[in-house]
Amino acid sequence: MTYFLQNVVNALQWGSFYALIALGYSMVYSILMLFNFAHGDIFMVGAYIGFGVATLLVALSAGGAVVLPGWLILVLTLLISMFLTALLGMLVERVGYRPLRDAPRASAAITGLMIGIILETGNLWLVGARRVSFPSLIPTATYDLGGVILTNKKIMIVLVALAFMLALHFFVRRSKWGMAMRAMAVDYVVVPLMGVSINAVARLTFAIGSALAAVAGILFSIAYPVLDPYMGIVFGWKAFVAAILGGRGSIMGAALAGFLLGFIEIFVAMAFPSTLRDLIAYSIIMIILVFRPHGFFGEPYSTKLRL
């Protein structure tokens, strides 16, 4: 039982990375009907920006210029890298996606893939091929709840992730910008005629998605403090699966699917040899999609004539 609960905790942590990244995919996908295949690499860049900012702040702090406590450094790192990564996201949108808004959707997917490769290579060029380790900003505290081991980092990761998801949810549901995004998701041909700027909405979507990817990147590097330039690939593709599994137009669906993917992966690894993880996890996803072809919360659609 404790073993089971322990895995629930691990799955929550693992799932929150997928969920945060899947949110970015899902927003772009719902609003612009594009696969932003560069998103996994934006996650990677976010982690690296976080690494850079954190290292800089730690060095400043150690130099004695301004002495900052570890938690403040963490908060500052989070905010600064969210901002910078959002800028990167907007740049990606401007360069790679806006010229292709009327092109076939697959072409935009290719652009995304290529931007991803450029980001990886650029990072490799700037930082080098060696893996870097994220500075440890807060000391790890361990709590033992009847055999279930919790660390303050795990709790923080899950809580921060959930907080950002809730914030996004309220933003999309309650604010005027959120309303514009939802309207755009319904019809991006007519809504611009109503005076909503599609460029502004697209830019905002990419900015928010990239900021969330940066959050995921920093949380990930707190949990697993070794970064390498190719870490975004596998995460990106898996979060992409989660986003589609959640269903088009459903942001919370993407988050839920992200957690589900985390749970499936952790529990498959618990019950079977861990090498079978991908095999079983994707077989489950394939079966889900065969029976619910439009994802969990997406609107059903059919290509057949319904007479």
Partner 1 sequence: MRAISPITPPAGKRPLRCRIFDPFRETPLLAWLFGAGLAVLLEHLLGESFAALVGLAKVPVLFGLMIILSKPLLFPGALLYVAVIYLLPLVTVALLLARPANTAAAALLRLGPAVSVLFHLALFYAVLHFWAEISGYREMTVKFTLIAVLLTLSLNLINGYMGEFSCSHPGFMALGAYGASIFSLSLFVNDPLFGKALLPAFLGPWLFPLGLVGGGLLAALGALLIAIPSFKTRGDYLAIISLAFLFIVKSLLENLPFVGGPRGMGSQPDYASLPVVFAWTAMGVWIMNNYVRSTLGRSLNAIRDDEAAAEAMSVNTRHTKMTAFMFAAFWAGVAGGLFAHMMRFINPATFGVQRLAEMLAMVYFGGLNSVYGSIVGAVSLNLLGEVLRPLELFKWIFIPLLLILVMIFRPTGLLAFRDFDAVRLVQPRSRDRQGGAP
Q: Is residue 64 close enough to count as binding partner 1 by CB under 8 A?
A: no
Footprint (CB under 8 A) of partner 1, residues 266-295: 273, 275-279, 282-283, 285-286, 289-290, 293-295
Note whether 305 binds partner 1 by CB under 8 A. Answer: yes
Is residue 233 at the binding interface for partner 1, with CB under 8 A as the rule?
A: yes
User: 52 and 227 in contact (C-beta within 8 Å)?
Assistant: no
User: Among 68, 72, 90, 113, which residue sits at the site for partner 1 (rule: CB under 8 A)?
Assistant: 113
List 60, 87, 109, 198, residue binding partner 1 (CB under 8 A): 109
Q: Which amino acid is at 90?
A: M
240 binds partner 1 (CB under 8 A): yes
Number of residues in contact with partner 1 under rule CB under 8 A: 51
Q: Spell out the residues 6+ positions from residue 193 whose beta carbon is closer than 8 angstroms to its own.
A: none
CB 224 within 8 A of CB 133: no
Here's the x/- map for partner 1, 191-230, by CB under 8 A: it reads as: ----------------------------------------
Say which amino acid occupies 295.
G
Stretch that binds partner 1, among 2-10, 74-82, 151-159, 234-242 (CB under 8 A): 234-242
Pairing of strands 142-145, 148-151: antiparallel
228, burial (CB in 10 Å: exposed 0-12, middle 13-18, buried 19+): middle
Candidate list 15, 96, 232, 258; residue touching partner 1; CB under 8 A: 96
Which of 67, 117, 141, 145: binder of partner 1 (CB under 8 A)? Answer: 117
Closest contact distance (angstroms) between CB of 90 and partner 1 is 17
Residue showing tokens 């076939």? 104
Based on CB atoms, which residue is closest to partner 1, 163 or 234? 234
* Binding range to partner 1, per CB under 8 A, among 42-50, 134-142, 207-215, 298-306: 298-306
Q: Give whichever of 159 and 234 is closer to partner 1, judged by the CB atom.
A: 234
Instruction: Indicate whether 186 belongs to the interface with partner 1 (CB under 8 A).
Output: no
Residue 73 in tokens = 């450094």
Q: Which residues contact partner 1 by CB under 8 A? A: 29, 35, 95-96, 99-100, 103-111, 113-115, 117-118, 120-122, 124-125, 233-234, 237, 240-241, 244-245, 248, 273, 275-279, 282-283, 285-286, 289-290, 293-295, 303-305
